[in-house]
Structure 1
Amino acid sequence: MPLQHGFYKAAHWISGELGLATMRSAGRDVYILILARFVRLFAYGAVALILALYFQELGFSDEQIGLFMTLTLLGDVFVSLLLTLVADSIGRRTILLFGAIAMAASGAVFATTSNYIALLMAAIIGVISPSGNEIGPFRAVEESTLAHLVPEAQRSDVYTWYVVLAVLGTSTGLVVGGEAVDHLQAKPGWTDLDAYRAIFWIYTGVGGVKAVMTLLLSRHCEHADHKSNQPQSNGETEPLLNGATSPENGDAGVQPIAPSKSSKKLWGSFSTISKPSRGVLYKLCSLFFFDSLGSGMVPFSLINYFMERKFHLPKGKLGGIMSATWFVSTIGTVFAASLAKRLGLIQAMVATHLPSSIFLGLLPLPSGLPLTICLLVGRSVLNSMDQAPRSAFLSLIVLPEERTAVMGVVNILKTLGQSSGPSLTGVLAGRDHFWVAFVVAGSLKAAYDLMLLAFFGGRVQPPSGEIDGESTTVEAPA
């Protein structure tokens, strides 16, 4: 009996630490949103593996490949800005449905044409991701929706699994895409180009599946239903990472934040961001520029391109290696919320992201494949651990009705920062200096980490000013 009791306590503790208890009661809409992101990232991963190789097969130069990715990211900035700003006005489910349909259409264009301009327009409208990660408006809409579907004390657990399933989706897409390409290339009469285009038909199919899933979401996902969906006493006022900003950790609790009025005008989302929030947002965006520029210089598709050029790997083996690196990253991601509870949001972000940046800068150094894989794995384990704390941090320091707009602006400006990176790397690769892009990218991302710690590693002031005569300050644990 004591043994059984001890086992039960251990299982209960593990369930709480990993957020499994929260996920059991999260609800159908939360499950659909997380699963929808899984299938979307599955498609992104499969395409990112072969995107640069596909353009090479079409006869485009390294400079043209880099320019294409830059123009794609710039175009996505404007599409994302528009869709994010109107998401709460015309309906979050409508925006997600439009994205799924556009995704299916863009896959069909990539599978049927070789025209540079047509491919560029399809990539912009359908959000073809050069990095294998989110670059469109959909993550901002989904995160904002999750923020009001789930009580705040449980939100960090949901965000963690939202990231975990995304990483698993990309990992699965990589291995399936690589094996599919190798299998199709071996078929009589199939060229490399035919095999690559088959992957884009898979992308189209995933867009159709995602559209069906979006139709299954309930009206509780909409902003207008927020008040009826959560008790007023448990509004969006508690710390997002349970314990990360709690009094028992020596931090001041967050007082209820009075909501501000939202504009119903098309561009009124900007006006809903309060002045204190805008001040923090400007500072964050200036830091995110360094991180995003570094990420843009070595998006996932260009890392695959670099690996294939350096080691001449079969697509199945390349997909297996890159899939493994993404899969092991879930090990770190699962423990991201637990780490943030103990270190604090900013400290957890820097402690994981800084070593990852260093590994990225060192990636071209090894001459052999095994050590290169070790650096890739080390980077992957740590690279995604800052995502859940970062989402929680952004949600904590802005008002509830600002979240969709703020997260959208942050994601858009990060995408804008990434946009010039591929062109720079394309020029370097065309001049046989591909390795320089990794060194510069790692240095930029490390600079972001150090500045983030310097600016936000101490006291963080929520955008509530004074409420009932008391200031509300959130302190990161020492």
Structure 2
Amino acid sequence: MSFVSWLSFVGDEIGLKTLFHSSWDVYIIIALRMIRLIGFGSTSLILALYLKALGIDESYIGFFMTLTFVGDLITSFLLSLVTDQIGRKRVLILCSVVMLATGFVFTTTENYYFLLATAVIGILTPSGGEVGPFRTIEQSSIASLCHQSQRSDIYAWYTFLGSFCAAFGSFVAGSIIELTRAEWGFSEIESYKSVFGLYCILSLIGVVLSLFISGGIEAKKQSIEPRSEAPTDEESTEGSSANETTQLLANEESKPKSSFFNLLPHLSPDVYLIVLKISLLFGLDSFASSLTPLSWTSYYIKRKFGIPSSYLGSVFFITGFISGVTSLGSTSMTKRLGPVVTMVATHLPASVLLAVLPFPNSFVVTIAILVLRASMQTMDVAPKHVFLAATVPDDDRTAVFGFVNVVKTLAQIIGPSIVGVLTENGLQWVTFVVGGSLKVVYDLGVLVTFLTFNKNAAY
């Protein structure tokens, strides 16, 4: 195989050709996620440290994070129901504005209760991952913009570039803290506020970018008219290929006329059952993740090994970069193994590594575990999107994606408070063991429950 042929093969395997031929809307959606996750990665790294610097106890920090997830749950749920009715573009613009306002408040005030109210109403993440309805809208928009066979490629790049930028955000936060303290003489609290200042700038860029999205991301309504006669052979053939979005279970009925019920997804009972199972399993995984979010993980490592915040940013940049790069391999695995096998085969080893993370007393060994886990932990994200997108029609995807993401957020609510109480009592290591063990249960549950749908969902 010549070098050019080899490059072409690699480009196909990692979805680079698909990305290159995508529409501008896809590029803007990915760019929005990149910019947003730089902000999320930077602020989540220092959130617990910032609140501690303000003199807040760990239990109150956990309570702060719990209520932040509650606010995200409410806004995500409400907006996911009405997004396709009022417009995906409008909601993206609105959320970017709210994100900007959130950053402004954290930059200008130190009052705990004011910060808490802003975190609940606004958009802020303790975990380093997505919050708000952004992810829901973008996932459903990509499914609308891309052919079914291209989704795994685009979702893989969507995941990779987002993960890279979240990692880069951690590095930027550490660099800002080091620069402002060493070169400009800022106090610790002022340095942390500088990170939130960056959050404001990134949010403003997000507002501007959202304005350039076209109407192509909006949901395409799929009308299904009743037939009084049996379809001809020709009509049956056309019908079987016309709607690729219902390839798993396409037994949908006409939508009711009531404007209220039109806000809710109307799927067949079998599809509802699948969505319910997916939601419960994803919720278990999210609860496990809420026990070890980036904010608390960085706090644990800093406290255990005495690592400076600036150095900590570099550590999580490296692990995040590795995580993002390896996530590109998921599209090749999904095409060959199907999304379910890909999810479990990559996520299960990462779950085991999370459970053993607190046991080494060596910083080097701990970092080695973080790096090894990072090489696998996000390879299941794109296959998740592919599998879920294959189960529901286009004009219900935002609501269904929103429902699943709301369940995941709901599952994260209590986790940070548990971490806060355990940390205050010197037992934070327990959260890694419990979190990793629950993730193992999740992985086995996905394999047992959805293995029969594996190949059908791949394309």
TM-score by length of 2: 0.92
Residues 395-434 of structure 1 mapped to structure 2, 5 A cutoff = 395-434=389-428
Secondary structure of 2:255's partner?
coil
Inter-partner Cα distance in structure 2 for 1:264 and 1:182: 57
Superposition deviation, residue 458 in structure 1: 2.4
Superposition deviation, residue 401 in structure 1: 2.2
Contact map agreement 2:219 2:394 (CA 8 A) in 1? no
Superposition deviation, residue 443 in structure 1: 0.7
Q: Which 10-residue stretch deviates more, 342-351 or 386-395?
A: 342-351
Residues 76-475 of structure 1 mapped to structure 2, 5 A cutoff = 76-187=72-183, 189-224=185-220, 237=244, 260-261=254-255, 265=259, 268-459=262-453, 474=456
Cα–Cα, structure 1 residues 304 and 234, in superposed 2: closer, same or farther, change >3 Å? farther
Match of 1:49 among 45, 48, 68: 45
Contact map agreement 1:105 1:126 (CA 8 A) in 2? yes
Contact map agreement 1:262 1:269 (CA 8 A) in 2? no
Superposition deviation, residue 474 in structure 1: 2.8
Counterpart for residue 232 of structure 2:
none
Inter-partner Cα distance in structure 1 for 2:222 and 2:177: 45
Q: Percent identity?
A: 38
Contact map agreement 1:360 1:438 (CA 8 A) in 2? yes
1:48-99 deviation digits (Å, cap 9, x = unpaired): 1100000000111110011111111011101101111111111101100011
Inter-partner Cα distance in structure 2 for 1:238 and 1:12: 29
Superposition deviation, residue 274 in structure 1: 3.2
Inter-partner Cα distance in structure 1 for 2:412 and 2:346: 21
1:6-53 deviation digits (Å, cap 9, x = unpaired): 333222211111111111110111100001100000000000110000
Letter of the structure 1 residue corresponding to residue 142 of structure 2: L
Matched, 1:34 2:30: yes
Inter-partner Cα distance in structure 2 for 1:407 and 1:396: 12
Total equivalences in the alignment: 445
Inter-partner Cα distance in structure 2 for 1:92 and 1:476: 26
Contact map agreement 2:343 2:380 (CA 8 A) in 1? yes
Cα–Cα, structure 1 residues 270 and 73, in superposed 2: closer, same or farther, change >3 Å? same
Inter-partner Cα distance in structure 2 for 1:444 and 1:84: 28
Contact map agreement 1:263 1:269 (CA 8 A) in 2? no
Inter-partner Cα distance in structure 1 for 2:313 and 2:243: 41
Contact map agreement 1:259 1:401 (CA 8 A) in 2? no
Q: Which 10-residue stretch deviates more, 114-123 or 50-59?
A: 114-123
Cα–Cα, structure 1 residues 340 and 323, in superposed 2: closer, same or farther, change >3 Å? same
Letter of the structure 2 residue corresponding to residue 12 of structure 1: S
Match of 1:70 among 66, 82, 89: 66
C-alpha RMSD of matched pairs (Å): 2.3
Contact map agreement 1:80 1:136 (CA 8 A) in 2? yes
1:398-417 deviation digits (Å, cap 9, x = unpaired): 22222111110001100100
Secondary structure of 1:383's partner?
coil
Inter-partner Cα distance in structure 2 for 1:238 and 1:398: 6
Cα–Cα, structure 1 residues 236 and 476, in superposed 2: closer, same or farther, change >3 Å? closer
Inter-partner Cα distance in structure 2 for 1:259 and 1:404: 18
Inter-partner Cα distance in structure 2 for 1:64 and 1:361: 25
Inter-partner Cα distance in structure 2 for 1:82 and 1:401: 17
Name the structure, 1 or 2, with higher relative contact order (CA <8 Å, separation 6+).
Answer: 2
1:410-436 deviation digits (Å, cap 9, x = unpaired): 011001001111111111000000101
Inter-partner Cα distance in structure 2 for 1:91 and 1:73: 24
Letter of the structure 1 residue corresponding to residue 113 of structure 2: I
Contact map agreement 1:69 1:130 (CA 8 A) in 2? yes
Contact map agreement 1:257 1:399 (CA 8 A) in 2? no
TM-score by length of 1: 0.88
Superposition deviation, residue 238 in structure 1: 6.3
Contact map agreement 1:293 1:417 (CA 8 A) in 2? yes
Letter of the structure 1 residue corresponding to residue 168 of structure 2: T
Contact map agreement 1:289 1:414 (CA 8 A) in 2? yes
Letter of the structure 2 residue corresponding to residue 37 of structure 1: R
Letter of the structure 1 residue corresponding to residue 366 of structure 2: T
Superposition deviation, residue 367 in structure 1: 0.6
Inter-partner Cα distance in structure 2 for 1:475 and 1:153: 10
Superposition deviation, residue 258 in structure 1: 6.1
Secondary structure of 1:272's partner?
coil
Counterpart for residue 8 of structure 1:
4
Query: Where in structure 2 are there 5+ consecutive unaligned residues?
Result: 224-237
Superposition deviation, residue 259 in structure 1: 7.4
Inter-partner Cα distance in structure 2 for 1:256 and 1:275: 11
Superposition deviation, residue 233 in structure 1: 9.0
Inter-partner Cα distance in structure 1 for 2:285 and 2:367: 23
Contact map agreement 1:294 1:444 (CA 8 A) in 2? yes
Inter-partner Cα distance in structure 2 for 1:39 and 1:263: 40
Cα–Cα, structure 1 residues 297 and 236, in superposed 2: closer, same or farther, change >3 Å? farther
Contact map agreement 1:140 1:411 (CA 8 A) in 2? yes
Superposition deviation, residue 236 in structure 1: 5.2
Letter of the structure 2 residue corresponding to residue 433 of structure 1: L
Secondary structure of 1:457's partner?
helix
Cα–Cα, structure 1 residues 52 and 414, in superposed 2: closer, same or farther, change >3 Å? same
Secondary structure of 2:64's partner?
helix
Secondary structure of 2:264's partner?
helix
Counterpart for residue 463 of structure 1:
none
Superposition deviation, residue 151 in structure 1: 1.5
1:90-120 deviation digits (Å, cap 9, x = unpaired): 1101100011000010001011112222212
1:364-383 deviation digits (Å, cap 9, x = unpaired): 11111111011111111111
Superposition deviation, residue 127 in structure 1: 1.6
